[in-house]
Structure 1
């Protein structure tokens, strides 16, 4: 009987980064563990342990989550600790992680693909790559392994970001492209140099954009219209257990003896909620003719009732517990 000699090549340590195999992330890990690369040393290469609430500690944490999950076209202007002004956009042309324009302005795509298990670190790495670039151009790849800095380390937290929701993505090319698709004001600008590519990306993005408006009666609440359906999506930082307790208390009460306290009034319905980056995002279905402006007053009234319900510390009664169980099962999925 013969035995196969043991390999003299030691297996890489569990915390030692290994480059991905030629077969891609789903191929067997080169370390010989038998696992797929993405489930083995791919985790090490991608970075630190998963951060469930990556934007915690940033001003407007709930809006950072909204920009990642529910807002199609928007910008957030912020300042770094070094005094650089940076514009975070929900999406950039061709899904670039970041972009430095000819005038030196820097844009970062908030919805760009993750490079690690920490969205905050990914965005900081993309931002720093654009700030450090020798000249204008897109950042097409982010290696978050080369930096441990996060947005919480790199942004001036005493300067709140300035948010703006747009009807489309024309802000990509503001001041860059003139009315003639074949001409550009500044050939050194990456948006001009790639005008045909950018224009194609712009047309696709504008065709698919969901009309969205940021409401003022509650922080990080967004009205949107998807086809004939109208919704309210509200990103809140209240812990999930407390959110469900408060909503259950409201659900078994009525407003003006007519509608459940968990709704926003006649014709509205609490559809459910989902979780995003450690926060809860409840969703309401609204009547098709309910505008963003018309949603403000009902939302303000609900927000006041919700705060009152949060202040109650008594245990839920039997009816409220049944309501809570039903509300917990209302999980929604964005499509």
Structure 2
């Protein structure tokens, strides 16, 4: 096969061959770059992180610039798809999933891609994959930085289907399998920073507390409290450590699953006050506090 002549190459208008190659390489590098804090700057940051990383079944209404219909951001959609718009006979509402089968390094850009798709999507259409390709607008141009989420937690995925939908045996079996996979998970309510979720995978329950503080300051605050023997959420609880995801830290506690979720709200409020008091403590760490900090960091893991 004859080689394609250089003068037959189709180049971007106004670009030389060298400029086109440099632009292509820059685009490739940009696609591989990871935003250090993808949802930073949004008041809903902690909720988005929780919904994307460990909440099984929940959704919340969001306002999207340029989209007239109701839009809900959800944990996961059928088939782990990216977005869908219901038929008009079922209200025409739109849903965007955060836990998707296909994604890029930057969930904020993927979410922006899916939300932007809704601007032209028609009732009944679905978007299976929303992998950012550079065509999507910035997320903060679609979502207000000050908007918060009113997350509705569910113990099943029945909300996937509009009310009154008739299930054939195959679909009913698939729905049952999805529902059976859900671990009991509930938000912990209270007047404290961030968002906390209680989850019971079996032998012991956990609380995962998504906080948006500066990570270094938060870890030092936790270390000071741990050194004082007060990094607990009541009798029979244990501080399990901290994991990092999407640029923020998530402290975790092991709990007795027999204790009601509602009892942890006041305990988190009290601990939140302790943490806030220590966040701006610039005093040097004591030997015990340094040891506690080293212990926390040595067990810290990064999800993504």
- TM-score w.r.t. the length of structure 2 is 0.84
The match for 1:252 is: 227
Find the partner of 2:33 among 2, 24, 49.
Answer: 49
Find the partner of 1:222 among 184, 197, 204.
Answer: 197
Tell me, yes or no, if the aligned pair for 1:122 and 1:144 is still in contact at 8 Å. yes
Find the partner of 2:74 among 66, 86, 89.
Answer: 89
SS in 2 for 1:271: strand
**Cα–Cα, structure 1 residues 91 and 213, in superposed 2: closer, same or farther, change >3 Å?**
same
Structure 1: any 5+ residue segments left out of the alignment? 1-6, 18-40, 183-194, 254-259
How much does 1:152 deviate?
A: 1.3
User: Is the counterpart of residue 137 in structure 1 residue 137 in structure 2?
Assistant: no
Structure 2: any 5+ residue segments left out of the alignment? 7-16
Q: Cα deviation per residue 1:211-234 (whole Å; 9 max; x = unaligned)?
A: 111111233111111112100000
Alpha-carbon distance between aligned partners in 2 of 1:214 and 1:249, rounded to the nearest angstrom: 27
- Report the count of equivalent residues: 283
Alpha-carbon distance between aligned partners in 2 of 1:45 and 1:319, rounded to the nearest angstrom: 44
Q: Cα deviation per residue 1:174-226 (whole Å; 9 max; x = unaligned)?
A: 32514xx24xxxxxxxxxxxx945x4442222111111111112331111111
Tell me, yes or no, if the aligned pair for 2:244 and 2:301 is still in contact at 8 Å. no
Q: Cα deviation per residue 1:131-164 (whole Å; 9 max; x = unaligned)?
A: 4123412211335225231321112345433321
How much does 1:262 deviate?
A: 1.2
The match for 1:327 is: 296
How much does 1:80 deviate?
A: 1.2
**Cα–Cα, structure 1 residues 327 and 141, in superposed 2: closer, same or farther, change >3 Å?**
closer
Alpha-carbon distance between aligned partners in 1 of 2:176 and 2:302, rounded to the nearest angstrom: 26
SS in 2 for 1:16: helix
The match for 1:205 is: 178
The match for 1:187 is: none
SS in 1 for 2:21: coil
User: Is the counterpart of residue 150 in structure 1 residue 125 in structure 2?
Assistant: no
**1:51-66 to 2 correspondences below 5 Å:** 51-66=35-50
The match for 1:263 is: 232
SS in 2 for 1:128: helix
SS in 1 for 2:59: strand
Instruction: Tell me: higher relative CO, structure 1 or 2? Use CA pairs within 8 A at least 6 residues apart.
Output: 2
Find the partner of 2:61 among 68, 74, 77.
Answer: 77
User: Is the counterpart of residue 119 in structure 1 residue 107 in structure 2?
Assistant: yes
Q: Cα deviation per residue 1:306-326 (whole Å; 9 max; x = unaligned)?
A: 112223221112221111111
SS in 2 for 1:226: coil
Tell me, yes or no, if the aligned pair for 2:77 and 2:83 is still in contact at 8 Å. yes
Alpha-carbon distance between aligned partners in 1 of 2:66 and 2:270, rounded to the nearest angstrom: 42
Tell me, yes or no, if the aligned pair for 1:130 and 1:139 is still in contact at 8 Å. no
Tell me, yes or no, if the aligned pair for 1:53 and 1:277 is still in contact at 8 Å. yes
How much does 1:92 deviate?
A: 0.1
Tell me, yes or no, if the aligned pair for 1:230 and 1:290 is still in contact at 8 Å. no
Alpha-carbon distance between aligned partners in 1 of 2:300 and 2:131, rounded to the nearest angstrom: 34
Alpha-carbon distance between aligned partners in 1 of 2:102 and 2:35, rounded to the nearest angstrom: 12
Tell me, yes or no, if the aligned pair for 2:102 and 2:129 is still in contact at 8 Å. no
